[in-house]
């Protein structure tokens, strides 16, 4: 069963990728989607057997011997425990629904077989990652996910912006992956193995001063800290944490189903999974956990501030993903690994719902993504509006939705942590909860309420290129942020296009995800983070004696429990006031605080800073080596350059090769005469 779960998506990739052009688009869609549905169903069977049932806590499925080189022995095997089956459910459920949704969303694209092949390849690589029994196999899946994401983000390769976004995602992730590779080397150096069971068995004794290799002259704990930080560097890249986050919003250039697959439940959660999987290491590295907590808190706050003013519907949700990943790392950093994975689990449902709901909006408006060109859509696409409302409620933590149980648990765990990092994270996550509520309801109100601003309803868009809330019109932001919201009607097959509800193949996945967004938290909270959590996570997550955070967060003061709810209500009230009651308020605020507005609109100028520090110097160095080194020195050295001198020297040699036989015979005769003469002269002596 486990081999089927992992390899069925690979079969789909091979069928659609190799035979797609021969069998056609519809068979490719059906085959890949059907195989993912089977894989998802089997994943739920595995989940209830291992995590919820009486199956073994941890076991190993051997596939093949992969490589043996000296002391390095790597098997291709699956490690099956609660953490694995939770990730199998998340990855395959979302991927199956994305496959089904894509049948409707991509129905006009002639390259559908290639698209579905890439989706299945991505899923297979992610399954390789989460089922890995060792660090090398995990790295294989890790890089496979990076490759597949590059192909999916750049799927519409005719668009320069899609190509640039794909390259950016690939390059930024290479930075994190470099740290991940170094971390694997460090772990192998310290423990002589890359297999999880062997590593985990040796960590406690080594951390407590046992015999072992010395890494860079560091103490045992220092060596473990270094390895943990290097591994976390890889997690920062994949999970788009602050400073390595810049690829994620640009990845919106890919088709919307790609956004749902990458940003909701799969690629971006790989880093969270890595830290949870390596909990036996992180439990002995308090400094590394402190770094994880601070980075998570900073990311949650940073991304939430940027999401406040974005106008692209997908970018708002992308920054929301970035912020929620910060929440997950906060939970991991304070030692509440189960809470972090619980938020990963629930987040997959409501964030996939929001992305696919946004795709339904974009489909209804024929590829319009600017919130300033929307409005009044709830009357035209009521089902999509209802699904987006459910996703928004879950994201903001409305009572009894999925986000209410998991996000509030993260905040409570941060407060319960006895560390300063936990205190900082608590404040940051509560503020981020307020911002999350504001920008989520801002998106909903701009898209679904008010007067229509699309397809002939452009009266609300004034001549200067503004819009109802006047955001981004003349405050000195960059050109891409100042692009006016057009009032032209959207053309669909040559006629003005009215918004329409998506077909069933797109709305059914929305309905299924909505059920998860509403019920996943209530149904599974006791298992993931309840008082009997240790039985659920037995063998999958390790906590040291003295780490009681999973118990302590249940007993925080009442005001801590209520703080995210109050933040959510304040955020909703502000969004309702500014985007329903008095739409002139955002314009006044932007005009009154132009520096802050530009700072947030341009994403804290992180991209510009990287451009200044890394991109431009690299280009200048390349230009110097090309024009000065190659052009002036190599080609220009001497009167006419080295290359000219080489041509001069070889031109007369070339003339010796005339092609006439008698010339060659004459040279041979001269050679024979010279040889005879030399022999006679030397022989006479």
| Alpha carbon distance 421, 411 (integer Å) | 13
Looking at residues 231-252, what average pLDDT do you find? 88
Q: How far apart are CA 346 and CA 163, in angstroms?
A: 32
- Check whether 296 has a pLDDT greater than 90: yes
Residue 484 confidence (pLDDT): 34
* pLDDT, averaged across the chain: 86
Residues 6+ apart with CB under 8 A from 621: none
Residue 411 banded pLDDT, cuts 50, 70, 90: very high
CA distance readout (Å), 217 to 199, 205, 214, 666: 21, 19, 6, 73
- B/e letters for 609-637, b = 16+ CB within 10 Å, e = fewer, are eeeeeeeeeeeeeeeeeeeeeeeeeeeee
Question: Tokens 């060596």 belong to which residue?
Answer: 223
- CB count within 10 Å of CB 606 equals 15
Task: Quote the tokens at residue 170.
Answer: 């690939």
Asked whether 50 and 131 are in contact (CB, 8 A), the reply is no
pLDDT at 580 over 80: yes
Distance CA 252, CA 262 (A): 10
How many Å apart are CA 81 and CA 343, to the nearest integer? 18
Q: Give the number of other Cβ atoms within 10 Å of residue 241's Cβ.
A: 28
Say which residues have a Cβ less than 8 Å from residue 331's Cβ, sequence separation at least 6: 296, 337, 339, 340, 343, 409, 410, 413, 414
Residue 178 CA: distances (Å) to CA of 142, 146, 244, 250, 609: 12, 13, 13, 21, 21
pLDDT value at residue 638: 55
DSSP state of 252: G
Query: Is-contact 162 156, C-beta < 8 A?
Result: yes
Strands 59-69 and 495-496, bridge-based pairing: unpaired
Confidence band, pLDDT 50/70/90 cuts, at residue 159: confident
| Strand-pair partners of 132 | 78
Give the position of tokens 């590779």.
Answer: 181
**Percent of the chain having pLDDT more than 90?**
48
User: Which parts of 421-560 are beta strand (E)?
Assistant: 491-492, 495-496
Q: Is the dihedral of CA 14, 17, 19, 20 positive or negative?
A: positive
Q: Is the Cβ–Cβ distance between 59 and 153 less than 8 Å?
A: no
Report percent pLDDT > 70 for the chain.
91
Q: Kindly report, residue by residue over 54-90, the tens digit of the pLDDT.
A: 767 788 898 888 888 887 888 899 999 999 999 999 9
**What sign results for the dihedral spanned by CA atoms 43, 45, 51, 55?**
negative
Lowest mean pLDDT among 88-102, 160-174, 221-235, 632-646: 632-646
pLDDT band at residue 661, thresholds of 50, 70 and 90? confident
CB 268 within 8 A of CB 324: no
Q: Give the side-chain half-sphere CA count within 13 A for 313.
A: 29
Burial group, residue 484, by CB count within 10 angstroms (0-12, 13-18, 19+): middle
Q: What's the confidence (pLDDT) of residue 183? A: 95
pLDDT of residue 386: 93
Is residue 215 scored above 70 in pLDDT?
A: yes
Torsion angle, CA of 155/158/164/166, rounded to 10 degrees?
A: 10
Are the beta carbons of 336 and 422 closer than 8 angstroms?
A: no
The DSSP secondary structure of 110-151, one letter per residue, reads: TTHHHHHHHHHHHHHHHHHHHTBSBHHHHHHHHHHHHHHHHH
pLDDT of residue 635: 67
pLDDT of residue 637: 64
pLDDT at 487: 33
Cα–Cα distance between 532 and 282 in angstroms, integer? 22
Q: With the C-alpha atoms ordered 166, 167, 169, 170, is the resulting torsion angle positive or negative?
A: positive
- CA gap 176, 231 in Å, rounded: 9
Q: Where are the chain's structural domains?
A: 322-538+557-601, 650-685
Q: How large is the greatest C-alpha to C-alpha distance in the chain, in angstroms?
A: 119
Could you tell me which of 478, 379, 476, 437 has the C-alpha nearest to residue 579?
437
Strand partners, 79: 60
pLDDT surpasses 70 at 453: yes
Is residue 200's pLDDT more than 50?
Answer: yes
Distance CA 556, CA 559 (A): 8
The Cα–Cα gap between 472 and 474 comes to 6
Locate the DSSP E strands across 422-567: 491-492, 495-496
> Which tens digit of pLDDT belongs to each residue from 101-129?
999 888 888 888 899 999 999 999 999 99
Helix (H, G, I), strand (E, B) or coil at 64: strand
Token pair of 115 as six digits? 């698209």
User: What one-character-per-residue DSSP string does 279-330 give?
Assistant: HHHHTT-HHHHHHHHHHHHHHHHHHHHHHTS--BHHHHHHHHHHHHHHHHHH
Whole-number pLDDT of residue 366? 80
d(CA 85, CA 1): 12
């Amino acid at each position: 069963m486990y081999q089927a779960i992992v390899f069925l998506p690979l079969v789909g990739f091979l069928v659609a990728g190799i035979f797609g052009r021969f069998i056609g688009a519809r068979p490719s869609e059906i085959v890949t989607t059907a195989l993912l549905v089977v894989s998802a169903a089997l994943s739920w069977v595995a989940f209830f057997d291992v995590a919820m049932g009486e199956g073994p806590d941890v076991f190993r499925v051997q596939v093949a011997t992969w490589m043996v080189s000296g002391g390095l022995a790597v098997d291709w095997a699956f490690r099956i425990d609660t953490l694995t089956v939770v990730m199998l459910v998340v990855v395959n459920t979302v991927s199956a629904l994305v496959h089904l949704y894509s049948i409707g969303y991509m129905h006009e694209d002639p390259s559908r077989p290639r698209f579905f092949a890439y989706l299945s390849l991505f899923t297979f690589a992610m399954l390789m990652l989460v089922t890995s029994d060792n660090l090398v196999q995990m790295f294989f899946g890790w890089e496979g996910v990076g490759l597949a994401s590059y192909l999916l983000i750049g799927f519409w390769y005719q668009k320069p912006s899609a190509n640039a976004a794909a390259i950016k995602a690939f390059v930024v992730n290479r930075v994190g992956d470099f740290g991940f590779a170094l971390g694997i080397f460090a772990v192998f150096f310290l423990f002589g193995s890359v297999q999880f069971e062997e590593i985990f068995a040796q960590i406690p004794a080594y951390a407590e001063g046992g015999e072992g290799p010395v890494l860079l002259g560091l103490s045992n704990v220092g060596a473990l800290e270094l390895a943990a930080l290097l591994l976390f560097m890889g997690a920062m890249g994949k999970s788009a944490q602050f400073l390595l986050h810049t690829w994620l919003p640009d990845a919106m250039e890919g088709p919307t189903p790609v956004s749902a697959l990458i940003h909701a439940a799969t690629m971006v959660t790989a880093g969270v999974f890595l830290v949870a999987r390596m909990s036996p290491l992180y439990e002995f590295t308090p400094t590394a956990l402190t770094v994880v907590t601070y980075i998570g808190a900073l990311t949650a706050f940073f991304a939430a501030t940027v999401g406040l003013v974005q106008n692209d519907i997908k970018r708002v949700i992308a920054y929301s993903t970035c912020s929620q990943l910060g929440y997950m790392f906060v939970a991991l950093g304070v030692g509440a690994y189960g809470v972090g994975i619980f938020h990963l689990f629930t987040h997959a449902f409501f964030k996939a719902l929001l992305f696919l709901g946004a795709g339904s909006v974009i489909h209804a408006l024929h590829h319009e993504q600017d919130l300033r060109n929307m409005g009044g859509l709830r009357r035209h696409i009521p089902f999509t509006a209802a699904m987006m409302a459910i996703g928004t409620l879950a994201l903001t933590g409305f009572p009894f939705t999925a986000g209410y149980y998991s996000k509030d648990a993260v905040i409570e765990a941060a407060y319960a942590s006895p560390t300063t990092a936990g205190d900082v994270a608590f404040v940051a996550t509560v503020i981020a909860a307020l911002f999350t509520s504001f920008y989520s309801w801002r998106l909903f109100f701009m898209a679904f309420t008010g007067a229509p601003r699309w397809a002939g309803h452009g009266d609300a868009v004034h001549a200067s290129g503004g819009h109802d809330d006047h955001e981004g019109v003349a405050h000195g932001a960059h050109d891409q942020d100042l692009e006016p919201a057009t009032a032209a009607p959207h053309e669909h097959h040559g006629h003005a296009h009215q918004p329409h509800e998506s077909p069933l193949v797109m709305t059914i996945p929305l309905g299924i995800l909505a059920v998860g967004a509403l019920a996943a938290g209530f149904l599974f909270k006791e298992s993931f983070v309840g008082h009997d959590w240790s039985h659920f996570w037995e063998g999958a997550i390790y906590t040291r004696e003295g780490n009681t955070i999973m118990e302590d967060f249940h007993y925080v003061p009442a005001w801590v429990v209520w703080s995210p709810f109050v933040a959510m209500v304040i955020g909703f009230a502000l969004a309702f006031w500014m985007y329903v009651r008095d739409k002139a308020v955002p314009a006044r605020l932007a005009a009154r605080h132009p520096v802050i507005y530009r700072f947030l609109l341009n994403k804290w100028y992180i991209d510009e800073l990287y451009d200044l520090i890394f991109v431009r110097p690299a280009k200048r160095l390349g230009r110097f080596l090309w024009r000065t080194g190659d052009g002036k020195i190599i080609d220009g050295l001497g009167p006419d350059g080295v290359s000219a001198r080489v041509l001069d020297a070889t031109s007369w040699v070339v003339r010796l090769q005339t092609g006439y036989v008698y010339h060659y015979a004459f040279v041979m005769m001269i050679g024979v005469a010279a040889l005879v003469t030399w022999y006679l002269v030397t022989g006479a002596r």
